Structure 1
Amino acid sequence: MGMKAQVWWIRNNGFDGPAKGGARLWDSRRRESRRRGEELFRHDVDNFELCVHNLLAAPGSNKRKVCRGRGKYGHHGRTCGFGTTKNGAHKRGRRTLNPGYEGNQKPLHLKTPKLLPSQRDSMKQDPYTPISLAILNMCDDGDEVDYMELFVRGLPVPSRKRFDRVKIKASETDEFTVKNLTVLAHAFEPAAREKIEENGGRCIRLSDVGSLPIDEKWMSTNEFQVGGDSKEDAAEAAEEKASEE
C-alpha cells in the first residue's frame, strides 16, 4: 500500500489542496456561528463569567490530522486519497517528486546556460539619476544649473532618493536650443555633451565624493600619484629652486 507524506512546505501540485475542489476552510460551522453573533454572550461581562471550563479555542486553530492508510475501503484508505492515475514517484511520498522535476530529461534550470559577466553587467541598473535634455530645454539662456537648482525651480526632475549621482542623458534625435548653458553633473552622455557644447554651453563634471567640480588643476595633481606631487608640480618646484640659486 502506497502512502504519501503530508509535507506542507512543498508547493501545492494538486495533492489535497486548491487544485482538488478548492482550499478547505477549517471549522467553518464555528466561524459561521461567530459571524451570526451567536457567541456574543461571552463578551457580556455582567452575566457571563469566563472560566477555565468554558474556554474555547479560536476557529481553525485545532485542525484534525488526516489519518491515511487505515482500512481498504476507508475514506483515506488504499490509495490514501491521492488517486490512481499517477503511479511511481507520485505515490511514494510527496518529497520524492519536487516541483520542476522533468522525467527522463534534464530540468530547465540545469539546461539553461549561465550568463557571461558582460551579460550580467548589462542587466545592472545605471547607478545615476537621469536628467534628459528635455528638462534642460526649460532653462533660460546663460543659466548655470545643477540638480538642486532644477529641483528648486520646480522642473520635473526624477527623485534622487536611490542614486545621489546625476547623469545628463540624450540621444542623437533630441533637440536642444538653450544657449550658453552651464550644467554641473556627475556624468554626461556623449550626445548630451555634444549638443550642450554646440550651443556654447559648458559641461562641468562633479566628483563622486563630495560632488565638487573637477577642474584641470585637480586632474593634474591627482593624475600620476596619490598623496604626492605630479610631474608638472615637481618641474615647477625644480625651476623655482634653480632660479633662487
Structure 2
Amino acid sequence: MVRLVILTALVASAAAFSSFTPRNLPSHRTTTSSPTSLSMKLFDWKRRTADESDINDVKNFKFALDNIRPAPGSRKKKTRKGRGISAGQGATCGFGMRGQKARAGRPTRPGFEGGQQPLYRRLPKFAGQPPGPGHKKELYNLIKLDELNAVEEGGVVNFESLLESGATTKAKYDIHKVVVGREDFTAKGITVQAHAFTKAAREAIEGAGGKCQLLSKTTGAVLEA
C-alpha cells in the first residue's frame, strides 16, 4: 500500500514538472514539412469578395491609369465623429470635456506657440521689406526707353501721348515708371513725364539733352520742371 502511494506521487510530480518545462528547448522543437502561407487581412469588406485574379497575374497584367487600385487595407473609411458611442468618437469627439482645445472654433491664432517667442518673430527681417501688415508694394506700369525713339526732338512725351500714337498699349496700373529697354535709346532733347524714373533711365535721357519731369501719383500734376 505504501509503495502504491509513493509511485502515484512520483507520477504526479513528473507530470507537473513536464507541464512547467519550457517548450523552446531543442528537445521540444517541432519541425513542419510544409512552409507557412502568409495572408493579408482585408479591412474593407468590399475588397474581400472582389475578384482580383487579374491584378495578381503579374506576367499578363499591365498597370494603367484606369485600373490602378490602392493596396488592400491601405485605405480606411473616414471616422464619423459625434454620431454616438458606437462610432468610437461619440459625444466629445475625442477632444475631451474641458479646456481651450475642447471649445468650438479655432483655439489659438495661426502661429501661436503657447506664449513662447513665435517663429515669425525669431527669424531675422529681410532688408527693405515692411515689418507689419497694411503695407503694399508699389506697382508701376513700365515705359521702356526704346518706346520713346519715335518722339521728335524738343517734344514732350508721357503715357497718354504714347498711347495715342500707338507706341504702347493700355496699362494695368495708373502710375508709370520709365526704365531702360533692350534696344538703344536714340531720341534727342525730349521731355519725359512719368511718376518715377530709374537711375539709368534718367541718366540716359539727360545725357541725350532731355529732361525728366516727375508727376504726382494722385493728381498727375508736374512736380518739378
TM-score strictly above 0.5: no
Structure number, greater radius of gyration: 2
Higher relative contact order at CA 8 Å, sep ≥6: structure 1 or structure 2?
A: 1
| TM-score, structure 2 normalization | 0.43
